[in-house]
């Protein structure tokens, strides 16, 4: 007997699922295989996670999925092209089927509405009422465009279950068949119903296809090649060939292809995509390097310590993959209802047929068929299928006017329950752009101060360093930008700073240690301010001047607070939502920002995985959480939270991973977001109640023989219209 110690974890991408019952069918089918210990199908992500014995081959798993009527591919986060291609083909196929169905159904729908007396004034071409004309128009919708419904229904029944496709097939086929042999025509009922359902499925698959965009953007952070030292020479090799211990050369501006330790050189690294720290981090011999981060202004030789799927970036990708696609409770309820709804309706229809044929109208098969068809038609899940997407459409349109983009119906439901919301600091509560907030100096006379600052700005203009750009921005604010035509010669020291000579003076700018090593002494008169600034977590740039003038300037560089941050936090508190700060920044800097905006709970110095763990911890305490962020480093937390909220001014990865996007990066919109979410979820629930209540009322009436099939068809259409009108009410709400 095999033990669980000899197990392998595998993930497959699935294709062809149409509803939650399909996911359940795949789970049951794979669970019956020998050597399969655990199966978890994610319908939203269209994937299945398996824990199996080592003896179970990938081929046997793929064959089992195919025998159940679906297809699958081995999931590889590094190679998504084939999966994306199949997903796009599915979406394109649904779109084509829907548009063709609309084309054929419109004449039949036109003929149906003219039956209503209040629309009798509309001219009706006589030939459209011909049985054979309607049969010919409805045929391609029913049996060609609608053929996949037949396939899905057959597979479901063959495996001992029933999904919505079973009811769609029976109801539309009954309406089509009766129209051929019966007295009345109901071809429009079958064709229009299939058209409605295809439209809903197209929207659903399109939205699900977008869920992989965030992971693809993360994958783009991983360089395709790396420069490795081999036999004393530098050779470019594919990234997947990297091994632990390899010496890798990374030039200025390139991304690091692995985690490692600096062996040679000095530079700065932009780690904002992983840590959220907006300031570049100094890298010298012995310092650690993270994959996906960007090398600054010097070449580095790095010894690889983690490669491939073991890197920090790979862990982030896996975290996002595992967290995306959670199913909303309201949808789970709908899935549970549908699992029982279909067989119950079919059973009621069959029982009603026999009751009428043998008891109420003995031997009258026409009456028995009419009542049975009336039940199937009036119970068709058109209104139930429209309940969520139409409310989502109206709710998201209303939100878009306020600069809020919802990415799914799940997000609409989840935001209405938020009672705990975490904020990243950099780029969320702050602008994400370093800015000089204060400057002190000594040894500079007022008459020469402006010219000295112009020379400093001129020197910093030659650097691409973010702190240098902050000083140039300061010069622009003070109208101290020098003549751009006047060139200045500078010398850059990676990891230290910059030097230049201008107008008989020698300038040195950079870190404190770099300036001190250049022979400058920090005056006691400014030591106290420097200490205070450092304790606040501010970045400091020292500038020493020697020559005709002897002196020093110290710039305090900070990430400015957003103008709307304090007001937004106050509004959220008044709504009963508790704000928390999660950041990778220095604790001093984090505490200062938290104090300014009014946040009492602060978690600082966090890695991306640690942010996500804190979110998960609060979720286990039954706290409904939200995460607001803008960077790649926020992706795991955004995916782990019940609701991920991304700033539209942030990274593509954050935007694609999040459930909600604030288009203009205005965190005041979070208050609107919660309000709109509550309104929309209420509307969705009203639609579900109406759709199910309609069936509960309509089925008994149809079973009693009081509704002819065409009246049931009209009632079915009216139920859908009612759901749409209920959703449209939201567009008028303030």
Q: Which residues are catalytic?
A: 424
Give the helix/strand (H/E) hosting 269: strand 267-270
Alpha-carbon distance 209 to 91, whole Å?
8
Checking phi first, is residue 292 left (phi over 0); if not, alpha (psi -120 to 50) or beta? left
Chain-centre distance for alpha carbon 274: 18
Alpha-carbon distance 10 to 56, whole Å?
11
* Cα 504 to Cα 123, 460, 546, distances in angstroms: 94, 18, 9
Neighbours of 244 (CB within 10 A): 14
Residue 506, token pair as written in the block = 């020698």
CB 154 within 8 A of CB 22: no
Alpha-carbon distance 309 to 11, whole Å?
15
CB 422 within 8 A of CB 530: no
Contacts of 64 by beta carbon, 8 Å cutoff, 6+ apart: 29, 30, 33
Alpha-carbon distance 289 to 250, whole Å?
11
Q: Is 486 exposed, middle or buried (CB count within 10 Å of its CB: 0-12, 13-18, 19+)? A: exposed
Strands 225-230, 259-264: parallel, antiparallel or unpaired by DSSP? unpaired
What's the Rg (C-alpha) of the chain? 33
Alpha-carbon distance 290 to 300, whole Å?
13
3-state secondary structure 226-255: EEEEECCEEEEEEHHHCCCCCEEEECCCCE
Neighbours of 693 (CB within 10 A): 11
Q: Which residues pair with 10 in a beta bridge?
A: 50
Alpha-carbon distance 187 to 653, whole Å?
48
Alpha-carbon distance 7 to 13, whole Å?
20
Of the candidates 486, 497, 435, 434, the residue with the CA atom closest to the CA atom of residue 458: 486
Alpha-carbon distance 395 to 682, whole Å?
11
Helix (H, G, I), strand (E, B) or coil at 16: coil
Give the helix/strand (H/E) hosting 256: none
Alpha-carbon distance 523 to 492, whole Å?
25
Residue recorded with tokens 């200490």: 531
Alpha-carbon distance 190 to 170, whole Å?
10
CB 175 within 8 A of CB 190: yes
* Cα 425 to Cα 320, 582, 623, distances in angstroms: 20, 7, 21
* Cα 495 to Cα 209, 292, 539, 555, 557, distances in angstroms: 44, 20, 14, 18, 18
Residue recorded with tokens 């003219």: 114
Residue recorded with tokens 């309940």: 387
Q: Which residues pair with 260 in a beta bridge?
A: 289, 304
Alpha-carbon distance 141 to 664, whole Å?
44
Contacts of 127 by beta carbon, 8 Å cutoff, 6+ apart: 133
Strands 47-53, 7-15: parallel, antiparallel or unpaired by DSSP? antiparallel
């Amino acid at each position: 007997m095999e033990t669980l110690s000899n197990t392998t974890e595998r993930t497959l991408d699935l294709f062809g699922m149409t509803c939650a019952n399909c996911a359940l069918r795949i789970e049951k089918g794979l669970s019956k295989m020998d050597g399969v210990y655990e199966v978890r199908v994610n319908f939203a992500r269209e994937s299945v996670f398996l824990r199996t014995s080592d003896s179970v081959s990938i081929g046997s798993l793929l064959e089992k999925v195919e025998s159940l009527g679906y297809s699958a591919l081995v999931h590889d986060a590094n190679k998504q092209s084939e999966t994306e291609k199949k997903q796009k083909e599915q979406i394109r196929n649904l779109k084509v089927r829907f548009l063709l169905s609309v084309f054929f159904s419109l004449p039949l729908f036109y003929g149906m509405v003219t039956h209503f007396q209040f629309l009798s004034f509309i001219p009706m071409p006589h030939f459209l009422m011909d049985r054979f004309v309607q049969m010919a128009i409805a045929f391609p919708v029913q049996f060609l465009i609608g053929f996949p419904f037949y396939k899905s229904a057959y597979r479901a029944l063959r495996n001992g279950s029933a999904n919505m496709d079973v009811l769609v097939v029976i109801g539309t086929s009954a309406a089509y068949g009766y129209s051929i042999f019966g007295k009345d025509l109901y071809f429009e009922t079958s064709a229009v119903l299939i058209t409605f359902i295809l439209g809903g499925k197209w929207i659903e698959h399109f939205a699900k296809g977008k869920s992989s965009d965030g992971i693809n953007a993360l994958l783009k952070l991983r360089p395709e090649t790396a420069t490795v030292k081999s036999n004393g020479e530098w050779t470019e090799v594919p990234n997947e060939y990297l091994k632990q211990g390899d010496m890798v050369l990374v030039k200025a501006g390139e991304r690091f292809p692995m985690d490692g330790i600096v062996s040679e050189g000095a530079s700065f690294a932009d780690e904002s995509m992983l840590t959220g720290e907006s300031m570049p981090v100094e890298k010298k011999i012995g310092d650690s390097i993270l994959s996906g981060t960007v090398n600054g202004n010097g070449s580095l030789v790095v010894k690889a310590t983690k490669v491939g799927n073991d890197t920090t970036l790979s862990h982030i990708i896996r975290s996002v993959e595992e967290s995306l696609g959670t199913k909303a409770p309201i949808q789970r309820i709908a899935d549970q209802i549908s699992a029982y709804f279909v067989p119950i309706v079919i059973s009621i229809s069959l029982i009603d047929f026999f009751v009428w044929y043998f008891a109420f109208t003995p031997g009258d098969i026409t009456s028995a068929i009419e009542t049975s068809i009336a039940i199937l038609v009036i119970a068709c899940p058109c209104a139930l299928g429209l309940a969520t997407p139409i409310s989502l459409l109206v709710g998201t349109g209303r939100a878009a006017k306020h600069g809020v983009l919802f990415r799914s119906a799940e997000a609409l439901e989840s935001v209405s329950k938020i009672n705990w919301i975490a904020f990243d600091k950099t780029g969320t509560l702050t602008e994400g752009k370093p800015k000089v907030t204060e400057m002190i100096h000594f040894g500079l006379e007022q008459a020469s101060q402006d010219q000295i600052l112009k020379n400093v700005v001129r020197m910093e203009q030659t650097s691409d360093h973010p702190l240098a750009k902050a000083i140039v921005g300061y010069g622009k604010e003070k109208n101290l930008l020098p003549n751009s035509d006047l060139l200045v010669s500078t010398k850059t020291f990676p990891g230290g700073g910059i030097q230049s000579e201008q107008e008989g003076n020698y300038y040195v700018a950079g870190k404190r240690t770099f300036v001190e090593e250049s022979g400058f002494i920090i005056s006691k008169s400014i030591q106290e301010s420097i200490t205070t600034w450092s304790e606040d977590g501010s970045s400091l740039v020292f500038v020493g001047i020697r020559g005709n003038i002897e002196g020093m300037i110290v710039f305090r560089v900070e990430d400015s607070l957003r103008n709307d941050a304090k007001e937004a936090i106050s509004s959220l508190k008044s709504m009963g939502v508790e704000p928390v700060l999660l950041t990778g920044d220095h604790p001093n800097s984090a505490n200062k920002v938290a104090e300014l905006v009014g946040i009492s709970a602060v978690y600082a110095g966090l890695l991306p995985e640690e942010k996500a763990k804190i979110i998960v911890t609060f979720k286990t305490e039954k706290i409904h959480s939200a995460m607001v962020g803008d960077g790649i480093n926020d992706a795991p937390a955004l995916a782990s939270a019940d609701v991920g909220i991304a700033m539209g001014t942030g990274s593509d990865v954050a935007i694609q991973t999040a459930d909600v996007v604030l288009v203009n990066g205005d965190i005041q919109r979070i208050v609107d977001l919660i309000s709109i979410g509550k309104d929309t979820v209420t509307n969705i629930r009203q639609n579900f109640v109406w759709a199910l209540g309609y069936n509960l009322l309509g089925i008994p009436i149809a079973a009693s023989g009081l509704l002819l099939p065409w009246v049931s068809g009209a009632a079915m259409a009216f139920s859908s219209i009612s759901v749409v009108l209920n959703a449209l009410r939201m567009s008028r709400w303030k």
